[in-house]
Amino acid sequence: MKTKIYVPLLVIALVCMVVWAAYAQGSRSNPGRQAWEYKALVYLSTGPRPGLYEDGKLLPGSPTPISRAPELGAEGWELVAVTGTESGTYGYWFKRPK
């Protein structure tokens, strides 16, 4: 007699768990992969046109990477890497979410 009562309760509990799991999966926000945009600052201390290049274009005046960093930070750019060579060329690599 007790077995007859437990079987429907077990079925109801399993159905409730399946419905709850399906609801939880559907309500979870899944934004997908984060998209990024990138920026490169290259500082040439020697060569035919020394100066600071931003995304391949020479910046007017004589800015330094340090003077440009606060502006880029305010725009949401994050410094992720710095590279350098013995010839005095330095690369500063930035990224931010799109």
pLDDT of residue 97: 94
pLDDT of residue 36: 94
What phi-psi label fits residue 88: left (phi over 0), alpha (psi between -120 and 50 degrees) or beta?
left
Length of the chain in terms of residues written? 98
pLDDT of residue 65: 83
Q: Which one, of 49, 38, 92, lies nearest residue 69 by Cα?
A: 92
The two most distant CA atoms of the chain are separated, in Å, by 95
Q: 29 in helix, strand or coil? A: coil
CA 16 to CA 24: how far, in whole Å? 12
pLDDT of residue 27: 59
Mean pLDDT by runs of 10 across the 98 residues of the chain is 62 61 64 88 87 91 85 95 90 94
